[in-house]
Amino acid sequence: MFISPVGPLFLAASNQGLVALEFDARLPGQQTIRPNPRDLREENKRERNRAVRFEVRLEESAGVMRPYVCELEEYFAGERREFTFALDLRGTDFQLACWRALVAIPYGETRTYADIARVVGRPQGFRAVGMANNRNPVAIVVPCHRVIASDGTLCGYGGGLDIKRKLLELEGALTGTLAA
């Protein structure tokens, strides 16, 4: 657990890179890498009907997490605009395309869901982009907070709109309608 200016953050990494960066307080129904016995019972039922399964084993290791925490501390201090550590993103081809498009949004800038839909080759798929953002396992680093509604307002963020606003303020991205 990393205590950040926007609240506690849960980080998890594999040998390939950062797998998860989650807000400690999640909205109902929001995905998590952390096991919940109730969720696991339901998931096990569903997984029996599928061929694909993977096991997650969590071990606490401050040393392994240090490079990630260091860059996050620099980001929150306003000293880092780009993360350099590896990511181990796991999702559908469409989700991965959306998440890559998010990573390409420059610090201090925003894009609309429609913009991202066009980038990933699905110009009418702005709702699907919203769902891919909702499934983003690595908040902040895969910056879904930089995606706004077509009318320029803030909408839909797993950490809540207050945190989205704080992140955009930190990056200097709030202008006009967004600042309201």
Which one-letter amino acid corresponds to residue 171? E
Written as six digits, the tokens of 74 are: 């620099």
Report CA Rg, the chain. 17
Look at residues 104, 178, 116, 94 and name the one whose alpha carbon lies nearest to residue 141. Answer: 104
Walk along the chain (180 residues) and give the pLDDT tens digit of each residue.
899 999 999 999 999 999 999 998 554 444 554 444 334 444 444 444 444 444 555 556 768 899 999 999 999 999 999 999 999 999 999 999 999 999 999 999 999 999 999 999 999 999 999 999 999 999 999 999 999 999 999 998 988 999 999 999 999 998 655 544
Q: What token pair was written down for 96?
A: 């991965």
DSSP 64: H
Cα separations (Å) of 9 from 22, 38, 100?
A: 6, 22, 22
Residues recognised as catalytic: 144
Residue with tokens 């989205």: 164
* Displacement of CA 176 from its chain's centroid (Å): 25
pLDDT in tens, 15-54: 999 999 999 855 444 455 444 433 444 444 444 444 444 4
Which CATH number applies to 93-179? 1.10.10.10
Domain boundaries, the chain: 2-76, 93-179
Residue type, 160: G
